[in-house]
């Protein structure tokens, strides 16, 4: 089976309505180009300060869920919202990815497991766990007419055991929505994504944030959204501009690769 899938790249800010308008435009363009499965990046509907997030949480969650439902149904696509804040019972938030089916129904929900606490040399000390609760679980894999689909989120990329767990669940196409920093993106983005695709023989679609996200030019992200084949080939990539990448997903080719080089069956540990 063959179909087209796309990953959208945007520069989100703290303005929810503006972000969703831009996302709608790009998703419509990708769908018009033939994409049946489309992913949006982490923080697609809101990328602002922790104080703003706390104050706007109800609005962000309500408007984002409505947007995903309406857009997926209007365009008849599977649509991933690659990470937005939802209320957690602890008083913190979850960083939540949701997939809606072509009828607008929610068929996948995942709370980011690995939280980004790091100093990477871009002037920020990242402490995601201060405000965000880990979901603590491996994502589900959903069966669709376009194969078995799942998603992790951003920093999860650095933990190969999560993707091996998805492989054991039969995943064929995995999203990795992200808001990668520029220093880590330049050093690690491509090699980590290609490694996850190759070692698990799966398609990887990585929709990313890009550019400058605040008026002072402080928060910057790497961009370079891309789609990778199970053989590790970069099928499409965008640089720093807003837009989308699109490529043909060939599940028959995926099956052939897994049969020709059955390394997943040769594991000893």
Residue 69 pLDDT > 80: yes
Q: Is 154 annotated in the active site?
A: yes
Domains of the chain: 2-262 (3.60.110.10)
- Give pLDDT, residue 113: 99
Residue 161 pLDDT > 80: yes
Q: Which of 36, 53, 112, 220 is catalytic?
A: 112
Provide mean pLDDT across the span 141-154. Answer: 99
Residue 234 pLDDT > 90: yes
Instruction: Give the tens place of pLDDT for each residue, 71-82.
Output: 999 999 999 999
Phi-psi region of 129 (alpha: psi -120 to 50; beta: other; left: phi over 0): alpha
Q: Which of 4, 23, 36, 42 is catalytic?
A: 42
- Give pLDDT, residue 215: 76
- Give pLDDT, residue 124: 80
DSSP letter string, 220-234: EEE---EEE-TTS-E
Give Cα 120 to chain centroid, integer Å.
Answer: 21
- Give pLDDT, residue 18: 98
- Give pLDDT, residue 238: 99
Provide mean pLDDT across the span 106-124. Answer: 94
Q: Is 42 annotated in the active site?
A: yes
């Amino acid at each position: 089976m063959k179909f087209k899938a796309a990953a959208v790249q945007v520069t989100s800010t703290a303005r929810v309505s503006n972000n969703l308008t831009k996302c709608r435009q790009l998703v419509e363009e990708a769908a018009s180009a033939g994409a049946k499965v489309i992913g949006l990046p982490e923080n697609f509907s809101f990328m602002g300060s922790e104080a703003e997030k706390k104050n706007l949480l109800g609005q962000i969650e309500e408007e984002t869920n409505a947007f995903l439902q309406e857009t997926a149904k209007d365009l008849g696509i599977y649509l991933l919202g690659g990470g937005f804040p939802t209320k957690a019972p602890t008083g913190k938030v979850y960083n939540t990815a949701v997939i809606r089916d072509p009828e607008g129904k929610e068929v996948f929900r995942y709370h980011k497991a690995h939280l980004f606490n790091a100093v990477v040399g871009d002037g920020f000390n990242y402490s995601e766990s201060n405000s965000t609760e880990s979901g603590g679980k491996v994502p589900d894999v959903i069966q669709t007419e376009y194969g078995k689909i799942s998603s992790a989120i951003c920093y999860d990329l650095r933990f190969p055991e999560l993707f091996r767990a998805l492989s054991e669940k039969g995943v064929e196409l995995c999203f990795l929505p992200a808001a990668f920093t520029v220093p880590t993106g330049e050093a690690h983005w491509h090699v980590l994504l290609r490694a996850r695709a190759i070692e698990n023989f799966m398609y990887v679609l990585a929709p990313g944030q890009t550019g400058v996200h605040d008026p002072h030019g402080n928060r910057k992200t790497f961009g370079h959204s891309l789609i990778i084949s199970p053989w590790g080939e970069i099928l499409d990539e965008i640089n720093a501009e807003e837009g989308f990448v699109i490529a043909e997903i060939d599940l028959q080719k995926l099956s052939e690769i897994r049969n020709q080089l059955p390394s997943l069956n040769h594991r000893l540990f």
